Structure 1
Amino acid sequence: MAASPVSTLFLEFSRAKLIEQYWPRLRSCVESLTDEQIWWRPNDASNSIGNLLLHLNGNVQQWLVASFDRLTDARDRPAEFAERRHVPAADLLEQLGSTLERASGVLSRLTEAELRATYHIQGYTVSGVHAVYQVVEHFGIHYGQIVYITKLIGGKDLGFYRERRPNASDLAPCGSIMRCATSATRFAFCGPDRRAGGKRDGRVRVTCAPRVAHRRDDGAAQRVE
């Protein structure tokens, strides 16, 4: 049974997030650091980037590749966090890239029946939709941690969202108090790290709901989208 239009949209979006957004940005983070830096950890209770790369590889392999391709699950999850041998970054990226390539193939050919089917993964009984959603959500969480650690070490803007900078007309002054027109909720905004035109301007885009008018406490209305 071919995937329905909604299922096709779900699979295409899932693949785009993993392969076209998260993966290139994650790779650029790792490639900007030394092998020593990717194995740095702030304390024993926290993971290094190296451990997170091993963990992401294990998760994608288990939940997307092995489950849908009906392969033997040989994952050793505790080992992903216990590794301390400083495996080279290039090796970790090659491993994860290969796994993501296989995952991309899975997402490109899944059927409606496979999305509705039941799978037993990591001790859980889940549907195919659940498995795909879990991988994308899980990858996004640890991708964000890797971005944060990279910024913490390098101390610079990675530029991932520079092409999406809002126009000045969409920005509220730093520290301004806004009230949502559809509720009593008040918001205080300050964004010292936001940039417009390559310069700090201390302003951030205000959002509450699509095309909702916001009103400052001084009575001036502002519409944002």
Structure 2
Amino acid sequence: MELNEKLIIEIKKNSIYRLEENLRMVLICIDKITEKDLWNKPSKKGVALGNQIIHVVGNMTQYLISSLGEKKFNRERDNEFKIDKRMTKSSLINMLSNTIQESKKTITKLS
């Protein structure tokens, strides 16, 4: 196996590890807050954690899944910051988990 191939394998492996580790840490944090806290802004100009999660999902979908995976994606970035208290913690967790799974698949397919 050539050095470039080894490097690509290592980058992909570490990228997937980081996605999994970051999800694990986010889940620990989300577990410690209430549904209400998920949508509270930390300050007048701050962004609620729920909106930050939605924004991260948008970033991952745009830059990883869409760009690298060559999948069409029409992002509405401004809507990511509008509070939507109808989304529960479990629905946000599912959204993030599914996006990470799709991102991992995209990374795995890269050559």
What TM-score, normalized by structure 1, do the two folds share? 0.45
Where 1:4 maps in the other structure, the secondary structure is helix
Tell me whether 1:37 sits opposite 2:37 in the alignment: yes
Offset at residue 43 of structure 1 (A): 1.7
Where 1:94 maps in the other structure, the secondary structure is helix
Aligned to 1:23: 23
Q: In the aligned structure 2, how far is the partner of 1:85 from the partner of 1:69?
A: 29
Offset at residue 23 of structure 1 (A): 0.4
Q: Percent identity?
A: 21
Q: In the aligned structure 1, how far is the partner of 2:88 from the partner of 2:38?
A: 9
Offset at residue 5 of structure 1 (A): 0.9
Aligned to 1:75: 75
* Aligned-pair Cα RMSD in Å: 1.6
Where 1:70 maps in the other structure, the secondary structure is coil
Aligned AA for 1:17? Answer: R
Aligned AA for 1:23? Answer: L
Stretches (4+) displaced over 3 A:
none
Aligned to 1:117: none
What do residues 171-196 of structure 1 show as CA deviations (whole Å, max 9, x unaligned)?
xxxxxxxxxxxxxxxxxxxxxxxxxx
Aligned AA for 1:74? Answer: N
Tell me whether 1:14 sits opposite 2:7 in the alignment: no
Summarize the alignment of residues 39-188 of structure 1 with structure 2, pairs less than 5 Å apart.
39-82=39-82, 84-86=83-85, 87-111=87-111
Where 2:81 maps in the other structure, the secondary structure is helix
Q: In the aligned structure 1, how far is the partner of 2:5 from the partner of 2:65?
A: 22
Which structure dedicates a bigger proportion of its chain to helix?
A: 2
Q: Which runs of 5+ in 1 are unaligned?
A: 112-225
Offset at residue 76 of structure 1 (A): 0.9
Aligned AA for 1:15? Answer: I
Aligned AA for 2:32? Answer: S
Aligned AA for 1:39? Answer: W
What do residues 198-224 of structure 1 show as CA deviations (whole Å, max 9, x unaligned)?
xxxxxxxxxxxxxxxxxxxxxxxxxxx
Offset at residue 88 of structure 1 (A): 0.9
Which structure dedicates a bigger proportion of its chain to strand?
A: 1
What TM-score, normalized by structure 2, do the two folds share? 0.88
What do residues 97-124 of structure 1 show as CA deviations (whole Å, max 9, x unaligned)?
111101011112210xxxxxxxxxxxxx
Aligned AA for 2:17? Answer: A
Larger RCO, structures 1/2 (Cα 8 Å, 6+ apart)? 2
**Larger of the two Rg values belongs to structure:** 1
Aligned AA for 1:29? Answer: C
Q: In the aligned structure 2, how far is the partner of 1:93 from the partner of 1:18?
A: 14
Q: In the aligned structure 1, how far is the partner of 2:102 from the partner of 2:88?
A: 22
